Amino acid sequence: MLMKKQVPGEILSGLESTGGVELSAIVSKHGLLMVSTGSDTLSNEAFAAFTATLYMSAESTTMRLSNEMPKSIIVETGTKYVIMVEAGPKALLVVLADNAGDPVLILNDMKSASEKIARIL
C-alpha cells in the first residue's frame, strides 16, 4: 500500500498537539506499521502488532455479542491510554497517551483525523 508519507505524517503531528499524546501511528489491520511519530522508547513495530491484534480481537467479540463493529477501543492503565479507531477498511489510527491527556478530547481529534486518513488510503 503506497501513500505519501508527508500527508499522514502531518495528520499525526496534528494529533501530537492534543494534550498527553506520546505516540501516534497508522497501522494496517494486519499489524504492519505504516507511519508513526513520537516516542522512541517503545518498539513501534511491536506496538503496531499489539494494537492490530487487540483491535481484531475486540472486533470479533463485538460482532458476536452485538453484530456491530467497534467504533473505538480504549485501553486504560494507571498511567497510560491506548486509543484505537478505524481509519478506512484496511488501517487503524492508534494513539498512546499519558493519563494527563483527556481521552474524550483525544478520541474526538482521532475521529476527525481517521476520516482524513481513510480518504488518503
Main-chain dihedrals φ then ψ at residue 18, nearest 5 degrees = -75, 130
Mean pLDDT, residues 25-37 taken together: 92
Tens-digit pLDDT profile for residues 41-66: 568 888 899 999 999 999 999 999 99
Q: Under a CB-based contact definition with an 8 Å cutoff, are residues 118 and 26 in contact?
A: no
Pick one of 2.40.50.180, 3.30.450.30, 3.30.428.10, 3.40.50.720 as the CATH number of 6-120.
Answer: 3.30.450.30
Residue ranges of E strands in the chain: 21-28, 33-38, 72-76, 80-86, 91-98
Angle between helices 6-16 and 103-120 (to 10 degrees): 170
Residue ranges per structural domain of the chain: 6-120
Tens-digit pLDDT profile for residues 67-108: 998 989 999 999 999 999 999 999 999 999 999 889 999 999
